[in-house]
Amino acid sequence: MDTFETTLQEMKKMAPEEQKAVMEEKKAMCTCPTCPSYTTCAKNGNELMFCATGKSFMCIPYEKECICPTCPVAKDLGLKYSSFCTRGSEKAQRYENTLWGSKMV
Ligand code: SF4
Ligand code: SF4
């Protein structure tokens, strides 16, 4: 298991309040608001941490750039993917990769 899988396993064992607290802590570290792809719509909707929550709810239509690889959360969670706001969460992209291979984005 890699860091991401281990973290998910550890979180599953936590009580709901503890899981929420961890998510809030990571959310506060999310650097999406400084990304060129981030929009006012996403800001107004308080959309953050797409790596966990998945695609933006119609606020980020296309990618200009993705700064996820430099985000501390990416390192903490051992994320392999990026552009989560347009391509889906880490979990979803990992799943798609198992179905379609690494060429599918
Ligand atoms: S990895 Fe990307 S989506 Fe996840 S918290 Fe960091 S900036 Fe936000
Ligand atoms: S997920 Fe990546 S592309 Fe989307 S807003 Fe966050 S840093 Fe930018």
The DSSP code sequence of the chain is: --HHHHHHHHHHTS-HHHHHHHHHHHHHH--GGGSTT--HHHHHTT---HHHH-S-SSS--S-S---GGGSHHHHHHT-----HHHH--HHHHHHHHHHH-TT--
What is the pLDDT, as a whole number, of residue 85? 98
Q: How far is the CA of 73 from the centre of ligand 1 (A)?
A: 6
Q: Separation of 90 CA from ligand 2 center, angstroms? A: 12
Nearest to 25 by CA among 59, 84, 89, 76: 76
Residue 103 has pLDDT above 90, yes or no: no
Q: What's the pLDDT score for residue 104?
A: 52
Q: Please tell me if the CB atom of residue 42 comes closer than 6 angstroms to any atom of ligand 2.
A: no
- Span 4-63, pLDDT tens digits: 999 999 999 999 999 999 999 999 999 999 999 999 999 999 999 999 999 999 999 999
Q: What is the pLDDT of residue 101?
A: 80
Q: Which of 73, 75, 86, 91 to mutate to test the pocket of ligand 1 (most atoms within 8 A of CB)?
A: 73
